[in-house]
Amino acid sequence: MELFGCVQHGDPIYFVPMLHQLSIQNYATVDHLEIEFQQGMSAITGETGAGKSIILGALGLTLGDRADKSIVRSGASKTDICAEFDTSRIEEAQSWLTEHDLESDDSSICLLRRVVNMDGRSKGYINGSVVTMANLKELGEMLLDIHSQHEHQSLLQRSTHEKLLDEFSVTKKLREKLSSTFKQWQQNHKELKVLSNQSEEYSAQTQLLFYQLTELDELNIGENEVASLENEFKKLNSADETLSGVIQHYQSARKTKSSLYFHLRTPL
């Protein structure tokens, strides 16, 4: 069972302990278990069925492994597992936590927690904040490797291949410079795309204004023509009311012939 991670400072590569503590509650046959890992190598031994795989299974849950209700200890309402990691020398993990706004008060410590209810639903936490299983898995891959008979997580991942190649082929200073230059290129490319979209919008707006101006020129509107048209509009608008009044008086006159004279004298 390996509880160490590879950390590079300059050119040398060495291993440091990363998992400090593992807390397991109501998982499988375990009621409550607290394990603290000290400096140096930690070995957990025991015969078949002693529970070694339970510890690895619980640890895997904090790293985003799939869970179901069968893992909840009989008689318990939920399984609660928490793993404490040291991230003080893992720049990649620290950057990830900062980018996702998940830093803890103590920047050197990272807590991964998984809670599984008896109905099978589960929640993941990083430093007390609710996260997705994908978040747990992504961060967990930076913190820990689990080696088993048919599994070696990091060496099967393309990202690890790239890191190992970088570590042995170029210096840290050159990698940092390349990373900074690439990020600046991405930012410039993003800004260029925004400016390009704005240019297209301005071009379309200019064409629309030019078209509208051309239409106005073709109308050949005189100096006082706008005022004249407004007066004409007012007359036509009031004509509708006048016509309505005439029709009303006409209908009334037809219904009551005796009051015809009275209606004819009523002003419109």
Quick one: pLDDT at residue 220? 78
Q: What is the mean pLDDT of the chain?
A: 81
Highest mean pLDDT among 72-86, 89-103, 136-150: 72-86
Question: pLDDT for 248-258, tens place per residue?
Answer: 877 776 666 55
* CA–CA gap between residue 92 and residue 162 (Å, rounded): 14
C-alpha 157/C-alpha 151 separation (Å) is: 12
pLDDT (average), residues 211-217: 87
What does DSSP assign to residue 70?
A: G
> What sign does the CA torsion over 252, 257, 258, 259 have?
positive
Output phi, psi for 29, to 5 deg: -95, 0
188 contacts: CB under 8 Å, gap ≥ 6: none
Going from N- to C-terminal start, the domains of the chain cover: 4-169, 225-265
59 C-beta neighbours (distance < 10 Å), count: 23
- Determine the average pLDDT of the residues in 190-195: 91
**Which fold would CATH assign to domain 4-169?**
Rossmann fold (3.40.50)
| pLDDT at res. 237 | 79
Give the pLDDT band (50/70/90) at residue 265. Answer: low
Question: Between these two residues, 10 and 69, which has the higher pLDDT value?
Answer: 69
Condensed to tens digits (0 to 9), the pLDDT of residues 106-141 reads: 888 999 999 999 998 999 999 999 999 999 999 988
Q: What is the pLDDT of residue 48?
A: 79
Looking at residue 252, its amino acid is S
Mean pLDDT on 239-250: 77
41 phi and psi angles, rounded to 5 deg: -85, 135
> Rounded CA gap, 29 and 147, in Å?
23
Contacts of 83 (CB under 8 A, 6+ apart): 19, 21, 22, 23, 59, 62, 111, 112, 113
Span 9-20, average pLDDT? 52
Q: Which residues pair with residue 125 across a beta bridge?
A: 113, 130
